[in-house]
Amino acid sequence: MRRHPVLVVTGARGQLGRCFEVLSRNYPEWTFIMAGSSELDITQRCALRHFLEKNRPDWCINCAAYTAVDRAESEPLQAWRVNALGPRYLAEICAQVGCALIHFSTDYVYHGRHYLPLREDASPRPRSVYARTKLAGDRAVLRLHPKAGMVIRTSWLYSPYGQNFAHTITRLGQQRSELRVVFDQIGTPTYAPHLAQAVLHVIEYVQQQANPTVVSGVWHYSNEGVCSWYDFAQAIADLKQLPCRIIPIRTEEYPTAAIRPPYSVLDKTKIKTAFGIEILHWRRGLELWVAQG
């Protein structure tokens, strides 16, 4: 393993990918190769192999995904290609070229009836096309890259970039006098720059140990704390001083194409303990998001 690693980031123009691009400036000795979908399509096996054999990265960070949760119900093939097939190709080729793979997944793979934070050994029970395709991708990474395939399940991701819940509430909250938001789906928002920073911390830790096998397996990461989508929307409205009332409603009052879990709070003890990561409360992440403009 090289002292100064070479990293490939796939799906680099998405919200998480862009967070890595911004943070890469803090790691001037590391080489970041940022690959958006037009430079590297993870569903094209030959192109992927050529790209990874040519660049010989130490780490591949896969931010590419099909993330339109409701649209996936009517586009299952497209979702499966990006969320299941792409990660399978990545895992297979990364294992062959000796590159550790960090892959992201979702709290939506769980659908428990228990109201205790979910550990990594909880049984997945995906209830939507998006969740099923993501779980298939996770399993491919774990099976085909057992030595250094890291699957990080995260929840309710938002950032200064792209489409996300925080942007939607801000936009609608400026246009409407009332917004109805579900209060019976409980989880934790994750500020994407915090997740990206935690991943770079893991890589730094592993580079010092020179032992990438420690990353293999499933890991959970979100900000700390618990809330409903209603609480999250209310916090956004408060901080952004939106001239709009946020009204709590039940899931059945807001039907969507995809079923979402009623409770998906992630227990982060494993990643915090293994890599000495400190995680901030979701409200702190939201304040930083607001401060970014």
Ligand X SMILES: NC(=O)c1ccc[n+]([C@@H]2O[C@H](COP(=O)([O-])OP(=O)(O)OC[C@H]3O[C@@H](n4cnc5c(N)ncnc54)[C@H](OP(=O)(O)O)[C@@H]3O)[C@@H](O)[C@H]2O)c1
Binding site for ligand X (CB under 6 A): 10-11, 13-16, 37, 40-43, 63-67, 82, 86, 104, 106, 134, 154-157, 162
| C-alpha to C-alpha distance for 34 and 63, rounded to whole angstroms | 10
3-class DSSP assignment, residue 263: strand
In the complex, the smallest distance separating the C-beta of residue 196 from ligand X, rounded to whole angstroms, is 10
Beta bridge partners of 263: 186
224: tokens are 């700390």
**In the complex with ligand X, which residue's Cβ is closer, 41 or 231?**
41
| In the complex, minimum distance from the CB of residue 135 to ligand X, in angstroms, rounded to a whole number | 11
> Looking at beta carbons only, is 9 or 178 nearer to ligand X?
9
Q: What angle do CA 179, 286, 225 make, to 5 degrees?
A: 95
Closest chain position to ligand X (CB): 14
Q: Please say which residue, 161 or 183, places its beta carbon nearer to ligand X.
A: 161
Q: Residue 15, exposed/middle/buried by CB under 10 A (0-12, 13-18, 19+)? A: buried
Q: Are 108 and 157 in contact (CB under 8 A)?
A: no
- Annotated catalytic residue within 66, 108, 110, 130: 130
Q: Which is nearer to ligand X, 155 or 208 (CB)?
A: 155
The residue ranges of DSSP E strands in 168-262, in sequence order, are 178-182, 186-187, 190-191, 217-220, 227-228, 245-249
Q: Is 130 a catalytic residue?
A: yes
To the nearest whole angstrom, how small is the minimum distance from the Cβ of residue 199 to ligand X? Answer: 11
Closest CB 124 distance from ligand X, rounded Å: 14
Q: Which residues are catalytic?
A: 130
